């Protein structure tokens, strides 16, 4: 079935939730937030919509940790996850070109400059009196 690409009320509500979130929510968190707004859709609808929005470039899917997370920012950027609390933040510093070339040479891969996942410990997890 070829999709018509309609912005149905369900798709709009889901996109709205993602755009209103800066914490890269998972599908489950998106469903929670929809419920709080008074909308409740079938699992299948939410997952289909997330796939549709990703494929049409309206959101970005991040495979990090055990569940996929979704990001309304579609500009080129990377992500970093805290190994202590699991939160995911944006990284806008671009990869240095020489390093990208070195990696390409070493591995034979054509690098996707957008899809970098770093790990570390976030500021609040490092705070002394947390």
Q: Which residues bind its own copies (CB under 8 A)?
A: 63-66, 80, 82-83, 89-93, 95-96, 98-99, 102-104, 106-112, 114-123, 126
Q: Which two tokens stand for residue 36?
A: 């709080």
Rounded CA separation 7/16 (Å): 12
Between 7 and 28, whose beta carbon lies closer to its own copies? Answer: 28
- Partner from its own copies, DNA, none binding residue 110, C-beta < 5-8 Å depending on class: its own copies
- CB-based contact 59:95 (threshold 8 Å): no
User: Rounded to whole angstroms, how far apart are CA atoms 129 and 113?
Assistant: 37
Report in angstroms how near the CB of residue 12 gets to DNA at its nearest: 9
CB nearer its own copies, residue 35 or residue 101: 101
Q: Which residues bind DNA (CB under 7 A)?
A: 1-6, 8-11, 26-28, 41-45, 47-49, 51, 66-68
Nearer to its own copies, 38 or 97 (CB): 97
In a 3-state reduction of DSSP, which class is residue 33? helix
Burial of 85 (0-12, 13-18, 19+ CB in 10 A): exposed
Helix (H, G, I), strand (E, B) or coil at 128: coil
107 binds, among its own copies, DNA, none (CB under 5 to 8 A by kind): its own copies
How far apart are CB 88 and DNA at their closest, in Å?
13
């Amino acid at each position: 079935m070829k999709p018509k690409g309609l912005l149905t009320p369900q798709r709009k509500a889901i996109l709205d939730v993602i755009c209103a979130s800066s914490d890269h929510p998972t599908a489950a968190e998106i469903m929670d937030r929809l419920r709080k707004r008074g909308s409740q859709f079938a699992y299948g609808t939410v997952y289909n919509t997330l796939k549709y929005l990703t494929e049409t470039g309206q959101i970005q899917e991040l495979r990090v940790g055990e569940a996929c997370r979704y990001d309304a920012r579609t500009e080129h950027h990377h992500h970093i996850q805290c190994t202590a609390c699991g939160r995911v933040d944006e990284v806008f510093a671009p990869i240095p070109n020489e390093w990208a070339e070195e990696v390409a040479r070493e591995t034979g891969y054509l690098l996707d400059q957008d899809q970098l996942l770093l790990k570390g410990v976030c500021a609040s997890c490092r705070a002394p009196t947390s």
